Amino acid sequence: MLTALEVFTTVVVGVMVGVEFSVAFVMNRIFNALPDDSGQLARAHGGRMLGAAMPFWYIGSLVLSAIWAVAEWHHSGAGLVVTAAALLVVSVVMSILLLVPINNRGKTWTPENRPADWKEQLNRWDRYHYVRVAIIVAAFAFLAAALT
């Protein structure tokens, strides 16, 4: 049963990393290259879609990692899992404090109602997101290392 938890947790976190990596390095670049207001509208739609799913995914990943850490507390890989869980805590706190407020504003924007500094806000979100992606990639790497 523990092996199933380890594999499931690693897959859940790994898929989350893939989605967030894709947002950072693929989707947002595509959106930014779209003509006129299409990119901003695409980012607003993406913010609504992923904004609905990601809280469950981030918290679920953290809970699964915490369960794994407790279950393996006295085993050699526990430190790696605890480190991964700590990084996931950082990603959740960072999301709540830095990214979610910008996303909540951005997902309601249209070309008619967006603020004058909308591009600066999206660029700030992107910078925070790059850091968050690095953090969750590191968490995933620690979980993968704990599997060995």
pLDDT tens for the 148 residues of the chain, in order: 889 999 999 999 999 999 999 999 999 999 999 998 999 999 999 999 999 999 999 999 999 999 999 999 988 889 999 999 999 999 999 999 999 999 999 999 999 999 999 999 999 999 999 999 999 999 999 999 999 7
* Phi-psi domain of 36 (left: phi exceeds 0; alpha: psi -120 through 50; beta: other): left
Residue 106: name the closest of 85, 128, 123 by CA. 123
Task: Give yes or no for a contact between 134 and 96, defined as CB atoms under 8 angstroms apart.
Answer: no
Give this prediction's pTM.
0.94
